[in-house]
Structure 1
Amino acid sequence: MRRSPFDEIEEMLDRVSRQVEEGMAGGGLQVPGSVPVDVVDTGAEYVVTADLPGYETDDIDLTLSEGTLRLEANREDETTVTDGEYLRRERNRKAANRRIRLPDPVEEDEVSAGYEDGVLTVRLPKVRGSDESKQIDIE
């Protein structure tokens, strides 16, 4: 039985789709300028950890809007060599960003962030549900 060219295309698309899914699950797909992050759900809060070596706290901008945490970091190295000339200069300016969509609402007033040794940690407590039961009337 002869195979259709569409079967071959479908197999190729399935193979590419699996490779992309595996790469995303393993953290293997990195977009240039993107910040690598870990997002942990502890039950009571989300903890986002991002590697930002070489930045100062003033270089980092964090915002939370409509369930999305936006992280932007910009650094500019103003030092110049006085004794010689650059043969290669790659460290003068660095911009990185990341947007993380949170699966559940968080208590925006209780969000906290810390930065130590090039690692940014953001704690986002989940919105607490009411402990009281509510009777629902049936009409």
Structure 2
Amino acid sequence: MTSRSNPFDDIERMFDRLSDQFAEFDPVELGSMGAIAVDVRDEGDAIVVVADLPGYETDDIEVTLNDERTLHLYAERESETEETEEGVYVRRERTQESIERTISLPDAVEDGETSAGYDNGVLTVTLPKQTPDEDSRSIPVE
């Protein structure tokens, strides 16, 4: 009598192979598929966020400081391609693409003094850190 393999063992082996294949993905490459690649630098008195947004116009980009520790980036663009042959549509395509990312900041920042610039597909957001209130006072612990 011949022994048959357990089908559950076969399924488990398939899942192991799939897991191994996903482990080989580079997270940086995955980030380029719909997410915004960012660098966050602490420059002492400010946090600087640099984001890659190639192909967008300044008007396509929205930067929002949701609270003192959360920055939200959103970009959307539309394009239209049209090819005609003697007045008849042979092909017409409209595309709309949007990407966004929410970034948790390492320190609280001032919302009134932030600035953003966009040059050659690179967005740079400078966020000055909050300074402790001079009116704060020490509370003794008993």
Specify the TM-score bucket, using the shorter chain as the normaliser.
Answer: 0.5 to 0.7
CA RMSD of aligned residues (A): 3.2
- Report which of the two has the higher share of strand: 2
Matched, 1:128 2:128: no
Amino acid at match of 1:81: E
Matched, 1:72 2:74: yes
Classify the secondary structure of the residue corresponding to 1:92: strand
Percentage identity across paired residues of the two chains: 47
Amino acid at match of 1:98: R
Instruction: Name the residue aligned to 1:98.
Output: 101
Q: Which moved more, 1:123-132 or 1:37-46?
A: 123-132
Partner Cα separation in structure 2 for residue 94 and residue 133 of structure 1: 47
Amino acid at match of 2:115: S
Q: 1:118 to 1:85 in 2, by over 3 A?
A: farther
Amino acid at match of 2:31: Q
Structure 1 segments (4+ residues) deviating >6 Å: none
1:84-95 to 2 correspondences below 5 Å: 85=90, 92-95=95-98
Classify the secondary structure of the residue corresponding to 1:58: helix
Partner Cα separation in structure 2 for residue 135 and residue 53 of structure 1: 49
Partner Cα separation in structure 2 for residue 81 and residue 36 of structure 1: 34
Which structure 1 residue ranges, 5 or more long, are not aligned?
A: 1-11
Query: How many pairs does the alignment contain?
Result: 118
Partner Cα separation in structure 2 for residue 131 and residue 42 of structure 1: 22
Which structure 2 residue ranges, 5 or more long, are not aligned?
A: 1-15
Classify the secondary structure of the residue corresponding to 1:34: coil
Instruction: Name the residue aligned to 2:62.
Output: 61
Q: TM-score, normalised by structure 2?
A: 0.67
Pick the structure with greater CA Rg: 2
How far has the Cα of 1:138 moved from its partner?
Answer: 5.1
